[in-house]
Chain A
Amino acid sequence: MERFYSWKRAMGALAAAIALMVSVAVAAPTSAHGAHTQTQASRLTACSSGRSDAYPPMNGYSGYMDLINIGSSSCGGGPANSDTYAANCSGRSFWTAQADTWLTQQPYSGGSRLSESGRSSLVSYPNDCKSYHVNNTYLWFPPSPLYSCAWWYVKESNWSKDYVCNSGAS
């Protein structure tokens, strides 16, 4: 009987391992370093979230441009997410911006990035004060702590901002 339960436990562990590998194999290609905007991971209920904002110089135009990164974790073993958005609420009809988005345990220059979107293309964002999704990355089985970070570039002012991070993905 002892041998039977030992066999059952071992089979259970093996099944769990195979399920884990399959889910990682499915998640890895899309959470990896693609060059453009990615489809977001299917969202489970957010357990926590955090937000960071960057405000580029307006070169004399009124209003502001808000460059947003939102990090979020999921309940029930789901992925950690990092999403970037651009919102132009200025007197300039369009600003051209691009972003890179990543998840890391080391939120400083040179830190290892566990999952990264890759640079988005240069896109013109209209001054309608709405938030446009730029790109996303996510990571299954996230370690702790985990930081959600972004790099921003605004073409017209040749302005860039690196390592805008928050701890919302933890």
Chain B
Amino acid sequence: MPFSQRLRALATGLMLASGIFAVSGCAQALNQAPQGPAAAISGAIGAELTAPEGFSIIVDKVERGSAQWLFHIRAHSSAANAIQVIGSGADHQFVLVEAKPAGTPANEGVVQLSAPTQADLATHPAFPAMLGAGASTEGWLRADLTSLKYPPQLLLYHYASVSATVCDNPSNQNTCHPTTLFSDLEWDLSA
């Protein structure tokens, strides 16, 4: 076989091999329909919900006033290391969300919980930010309702932040921009 023919044969072989790789390289082991996770991440007040970091949370009592709601929270860790349950940024936070109508901007009607006021601390000790390895803890957090227009609907715990893209029209990439969403534990307050 002339050298030029050998080269053409080699080229054809390479093209065929790369084509096969492109078509079948990722086809294995992908045909199983995914299943939802087993640990509970949503429920009503009193439900024990579990964060992937290895701790569970029970919101077992809500004191509902006109200007503030106080939540009694218990947490238990099954992790080997201490966990910062309440962070300093936007994630690892509890937030109260009002029953806002469809079309309301994402950041409206959401209030982040904080430690009870000085007046309440004596009878409502604050929920601690840190949870020791294998430890349990409890305490209170406060939601200020004065900025809400509608009744509270959900209590969320942001256990992770997720970088995302939001679009006015998904068929037009010019209408999209980056944003941040959260993975949450979720207590339905109307349940």
**Total number of A residues with any Cβ neighbor in B under 8 Å:** 72
Q: Is B111 an interface residue (CB 8 A)?
A: no
Interface of B is mostly: mixed
- Asked if residues A17 and B102 are in contact (CB atoms below 8 Å), the reply is no
Q: Is B109 an interface residue (CB 8 A)?
A: yes
Instruction: List B contacts of A56 (CB < 8 A).
Output: none
State the Cβ distance, B171 to closest chain A Cβ, in Å. 7
When each residue 4-25 of chain B gets 1 if its CB lies under 8 Å from chain A and 0 otherwise, what string results? 1101101110110111011111
Q: How many A-B residue pairs have CB under 8 A?
A: 184
Instruction: List B contacts of A70 (CB < 8 A).
Output: 170-171
When each residue 100-113 of chain B gets 1 if its CB lies under 8 Å from chain A and 0 otherwise, what string results? 11111110010000
- Asked if residues B103 and A128 are in contact (CB atoms below 8 Å), the reply is yes
Q: Is B31 an interface residue (CB 8 A)?
A: yes
State the Cβ distance, A149 to closest chain B Cβ, in Å. 11
State the Cβ distance, B139 to closest chain A Cβ, in Å. 24
Q: Contacts A11-B7, A96-B186 hold; do A114 and B36 have CB atoms under 8 A apart?
A: no
* Those of A101-150 within 8 Å (CB) of chain B: 102, 109-116, 119, 121-133, 139-141, 143
When each residue 150-174 of chain B gets 1 if its CB lies under 8 Å from chain A and 0 otherwise, what string results? 0001101000101111111111010
Instruction: List B contacts of A75 (CB < 8 A).
Output: none
- Asked if residues B11 and A16 are in contact (CB atoms below 8 Å), the reply is yes
Interface of A is mostly: mixed
Q: Contacts A28-B26, A33-B30, A129-B102 hold; do A158 and B11 have CB atoms under 8 A apart?
A: no
Residues of chain B at the chain A interface (Cβ within 8 Å)? 2-5, 7-8, 10-12, 14-15, 17-19, 21-27, 30-31, 33-34, 36-37, 41-42, 97-106, 109, 153-154, 156, 160, 162-171, 173, 176, 179, 181-184, 186, 188
Closest 10 pairs between A and B when the two form their complex, measured CB to CB: A10-B7, A126-B106, A13-B11, A17-B14, A133-B165, A131-B170, A17-B11, A6-B4, A10-B4, A14-B11
